[in-house]
Amino acid sequence: MEEKKLAICAEQITKMYKLYDKPSDRLKEALGLKKGKLYKEHYALNGVDLSIYKGETVGIIGTNGSGKSTILKIITGVLNATSGNLMVDGRISALLELGAGFNMEYNGIENIYLNGTMMGFSEKEIEARMDSILEFADIGDFVYQPCKTYSSGMFVRLAFAVAINIEPEILIVDEALSVGDVFFQAKCYHKFEEFKKMGKTILFVSHDLSSIAKYCDRVVLLNKGVKLGEGSPKEMIDTYKQVLVGQYQAPEEEALLQDEDVNETAENSTEADQNPQIKEKNTEEKTVQEEKNASAKSKEETKKIIQNLGVNEKALEYGNRDGEITEFYITDKKDVQTSAIIKGEEFTLHMKVKFNNDVPAPIFAFTIKDKHGTEITGTNTMFEKAFLESVKAGESKEITFTQRMDLQGGEYLLSLGLTGYEGDQFQVYHRLYDVLSLTVVSEKNTVGYYDMNSKIVIK
């Protein structure tokens, strides 16, 4: 088996900025007029490791200020790291910021030569690629006008055309594609697919999670300058959504909480051992409770088998538990519980929710994703204006979503959500990601994700 070769290897990359309260402090420090630190340290990146192999398409996601653009600028040489080691093997073409590397006074043609020269190409090599660049950019006679007269869309068209037509071994793109129109974006993503087939290495930063899920082999999640993890697009996107709503818990924190539970149990056991009466009482209570638990467990297991066909027992879940999704299942048009629906027929998603605290306006939601984690469709009670009331602690609600199945035949994953707003603050009470599998059975599949049910007449 051929060993994978590294295209980019970043080890313990740190980028620290000095933040001064006033400009005079910077001057005093430069002149050595005052001892001690006159600045605060801000770490845009803090000990980030990144290994990208040749031929991979790797996505980097994270909230604003997480260090995504900073790591790309360090890899491309625009910024120097404060500390750490970096190895890059291959010619890089980068599209970092709108107009980066362009001279605003030069016209489009002059900037093509300028960019090509900066990337190490001769004038003759740039001329050989000129037609391809102009054809891809498709900005007409504006290419002869100064770049300061360009719209943002023209900028990104020309910049991307240059970046992908100089035969890079590594292509780095940072959010630039969100500027172009839908036709240009489609052309760019088609080029991405060509690059992947050619075995090029692509490093891709975007807030468009569906694009990340579709094109990336692997995803790195950054948050506040620290790498939270890396893995499959689906896994990292789900974790990122936890970060967005402040519900992310690091694996070390979970282990710590489990240790605390163990310690608490041990303390209770010690107290009982020291007091025989407590021990006897606990034993009696334990026997009664065990019988109740066994009976409840048996009923629950039977109920789960009957009611939860296609359930993912290891589904990711989180939330503050002011409300909990306690039951969920799918029924077909005959009201029979199932995990397989025939295309074109009606089906119903059932949810039961118990509220542990007062909730001002709960939102019940579901989302259907494909196996790669791309969200295809879904809805919620706020979109549908179906339920906009408050609920009290102790209440339960049963929610049903009924709709026609028009997705193409195949395997899908279903996620459930219980969220809401308290004032202006978005709250996640309970989320269950990829908790149900759903099979769509079809005799006829059309193009794309769903069937438009076209009626064809030929005369």
* Domains located in the chain, CATH noted: 6-244 (3.40.50.300), 316-441 (2.70.50.60)
Cα–Cα distances in Å, from 301 out to 66, 84, 287, 298, 309? 43, 53, 21, 5, 12
Q: Is the pLDDT of residue 447 over 80?
A: yes
- For the chain, the C-alpha Rg in angstroms (whole number) is 28
Q: Are 139 and 157 in contact (CB under 8 A)?
A: yes
Mean per-residue pLDDT for 244-268?
A: 62
Instruction: Give me the pLDDT at residue 296, please.
Output: 53
What are the strands, taking DSSP E only, across 322-448? 323-331, 340-342, 346-355, 362-369, 375-380, 396-404, 410-422, 425-441
3-state DSSP call for residue 332?
Answer: coil
Pairwise CA distance, residues 397 & 391, whole Å: 9
3-state DSSP assignment of residue 249? coil
Mean pLDDT over residues 78-89, rounded? 94
Give the integer Cα–Cα distance in Å for 39 and 322.
Answer: 43
For residue 76, which of 192, 205, 187 has the smallest C-alpha distance? 205
Residue 45 has pLDDT above 60, yes or no: yes
The pLDDT-based confidence of 211 (bands split at 50, 70, 90) is confident
- Please give the model's pTM, rounded to 2 decimal places: 0.75
pLDDT, tens only, 417-442:
999 999 889 999 999 999 999 999 88
Residue 140, phi-psi category: left (phi > 0), alpha (psi -120 to 50), beta (remainder): left
Q: Judge whether residue 288 has pLDDT over 80.
A: no
In angstroms, the first-to-last Cα distance of the chain is 58
Q: How many CB atoms sit inside 10 A of residue 189's CB? A: 14
